[in-house]
Amino acid sequence: MKSIIVNPASGLRGELTVPGDKSISHRGIMFGAIAQGTTRLSGFLDSADCRSTINCFRSLGIDIDTGGGEVLVHGRGLHGLNAPASVLDVGNSGTTARLISGILCAGDFTCTLTGDSSIQKRPMKRIIDPLLAMGADISSVNNNGCVPLSITGRKLSGITWESPVASAQVKSCILLAGLYATGDTTVTEPAISRDHTERMLGAYGAALTRSGNSVTISPAAELHALDINIPGDISSAAYFIAAALICPGSELTIRNVNINPTRAGILKVIEQMGANFSLDNVHTDSGEECCDITIRSSSLHGTVIEGDIIPTLIDELPIIAVLGAFADGTTIIRDAAELKVKESDRIALISDNLSALGCDITPTEDGMIINGGRPLTGCSIRTASDHRIAMSFAVAALNATGSTTIDDMACVSISFPDFFDQLFSLSN
């Protein structure tokens, strides 16, 4: 594991674009694979997680061209996947594991799906239960509710499912299985999670309706290929938004960022914390709201983050916690127990690493309490190879005293391979 040292920086100035949205990139491959015709994806995120999705669908017989600037997915229709020759490897990617399972349960073959040591600990019962209720043949090979999963395709029936967690991965898995079921399928979640699946499947020709926190999908006869322009990922932009906020003398513009309201909760939070920023050139492209974001260094104050906003910023909570450490007063994060089952236990890791930097932080069952405003001092950061922990603490290091060592620099390749290059080129 190769570590990296991050030193304090003065202002970040200039402009940048961040890589394409990860959630949309995964879905572009998956939905393109089961549509008729060729899906053209521009702005595709070339990262380890999205490559896991590409590799799985190639193993299922889909031709995917990644050579040029665009990715071309040569779809074979809803029933066009072939049995893979070997085990499907989803790597570190929860999105790949959970969404692909909804499709595989309706295939006409048996397969096994596995992934790395992190994904082998993440909960899959949340998709196994609804898929079993639809009549699927899916089981956890080690009987521990995790991958490896063994799946044999079957005829599925529509269900009405109340998900105990607000999770776009669970919702999307059930909706994808619902495409193949007899009768309609409805998923209700406690709060609305990211809605890319609903938007994109609708554009591919599926029939979906939303009512409050519920989405209903009807079985589809066919999906039709699309051209999709993928905007920059707000989850990646978040590190640069935070860096510009906390480094004095910053003024940074991030171009073409996805601000779909089910993803952009961080913008509401920084507004509540007193951030100086503006959104320009707001427009819609390929069904997603996008804009340029300009951020200036700001004096922040603490806030409370809880309730329905949590799913709209779930991946940004590590960097929001870092902002809390630099803000005056108390920042409280609640209703975010999901953080414990991400790529790492993020409540524990955020708390351990912010404490090591000298911050006053108390972890709770479903979040944390941060008494911000103390100066932070560089230290060694343990990432557990979680990309979002590595990037969040690299940003914290920019405004700490002395050097900070991040124990694994390579893990950022999961979602943002050029992260350190971009960070250092803007902060030097």
How far is 297 from 11, CA to CA, in rounded Å? 8
Residue nearer to ligand S3P on the CB measure, 315 or 408:
315
Residues touching ligand S3P, count (CB under 6 A): 11
In the complex with ligand S3P, which residue's Cβ is closer, 288 or 315? 315
Helices then strands (H, E): number in the chain?
12, 23
**Residue window 274-313: x/- pattern of binding to ligand S3P, with contact defined by CB under 6 A:** ----------------------------------------
Query: Of 169 and 186, which CB lies nearer to ligand S3P in the complex structure?
Result: 169
Residue 248: Cβ within 10 Å count = 11
Residue 386 binding ligand S3P, by CB under 6 A: no
Tell me the H-state helices in 162-316: 168-179, 196-203, 234-246, 265-272
In sign, the C-alpha dihedral spanning 400, 403, 405, 410 is: positive
User: In this chain, which of 169, 236, 286, 404 binds ligand S3P, going by CB under 6 A?
Assistant: 169
Q: Which is nearer to ligand S3P, 16 or 165 (CB)?
A: 165
The least CB distance from residue 234 to ligand S3P, in Å, is: 12
C-alpha 154 chain-centroid distance:
29
Place of tokens 């079957």: 154
Q: Which is nearer to ligand S3P, 76 or 346 (CB)?
A: 346
User: How many C-alpha atoms does 183 have within 13 Å on its Cβ side?
Assistant: 10
| Shortest reach from residue 221's CB to ligand S3P, in Å | 25
Q: Which is nearer to ligand S3P, 197 or 303 (CB)?
A: 197
For ligand S3P, the nearest residue by Cβ is 23
Rounded to 5 degrees, what angle do the CA atoms 35, 40, 46 make? 110
Q: Which two tokens stand for residue 238?
A: 């978040």
If one asks whether residue 168 binds ligand S3P (CB under 6 A), the answer comes out as yes
Query: What are the Cα distances from residue 419, in Å, to 19, 360, 387, 416, 425?
Result: 9, 28, 10, 5, 10
In the complex, least distance from residue 400 CB atom to ligand S3P, rounded to whole angstroms? 27
423 burial type by CB count under 10 A (0-12 exposed, 13-18 middle, 19+ buried): buried
Q: Which stretch binds ligand S3P (CB under 6 A): 109-117, 162-170, 198-206, 316-324?
A: 162-170
47 binds ligand S3P (CB under 6 A): no
Asked if 401 contacts 9 with a C-beta cutoff of 8 angstroms, the reply is no
Closest to ligand S3P by CB, 215 or 327: 215
- Measure the CA–CA gap between 58 and 40, rounded to whole angstroms: 16
Instruction: Output the smallest distance, CB 9 to ligand S3P, in A.
Output: 27
Name which position in 233, 315, 386, 407 contacts ligand S3P (CB under 6 A): 315
Contact region with ligand S3P (CB under 6 A), list: 164-172, 177-185, 219-227, 361-369:
164-172
Report strand pairing: 70-76 vs 63-65: antiparallel
DSSP secondary structure letter of residue 304: E
| Per-residue interface string for the shown chain with ligand S3P, residues 327-356, x marking contact by CB under 6 A | -----------x------------------
Q: Is position 314 an interface residue for ligand S3P (rule: CB under 6 A)?
A: yes
Contact 64, 58 (CB under 8 A): yes
Question: Closer to ligand S3P at the Cβ: 26 or 76?
Answer: 26
- Least spacing, CB of residue 109 vs ligand S3P, in Å: 25
Tell whether residue 101 is a contact of ligand S3P (CB under 6 A).
no
Q: Write down the least CB distance from residue 220 to ligand S3P, Å.
A: 20
Task: Collapse the DSSP code of 82 into the 3-class scheme (helix H, G, I; strand E, B; otherwise coil) and give the result.
Answer: coil
> What is the rounded CA–CA span in Å between residue 76 and residue 95?
21
Among 25, 39, 59, 95, contact with ligand S3P (rule: CB under 6 A): 95
Q: Shortest approach of ligand S3P to residue 148 CB, angstroms?
A: 19
Active site residues: 315
User: Could you say which residues in the range 192-251 bind ligand S3P, by CB under 6 A?
Assistant: 193-194
- One-letter amino acid identity for 17? T
Q: Which of 167, 258, 312, 427 binds ligand S3P (CB under 6 A)?
A: 167
What are the Cα distances from residue 354, in Å, to 99, 322, 348, 385, 391?
33, 8, 10, 17, 13
Q: CB-based contacts of 117: which residues, under 8 Å, 6+ apart?
A: none
Dist CA 319 CA 235 (whole Å): 10
Provide the binding-site residues for ligand S3P, judged by CB under 6 A.
23, 95, 167-169, 172, 193-194, 314-315, 338
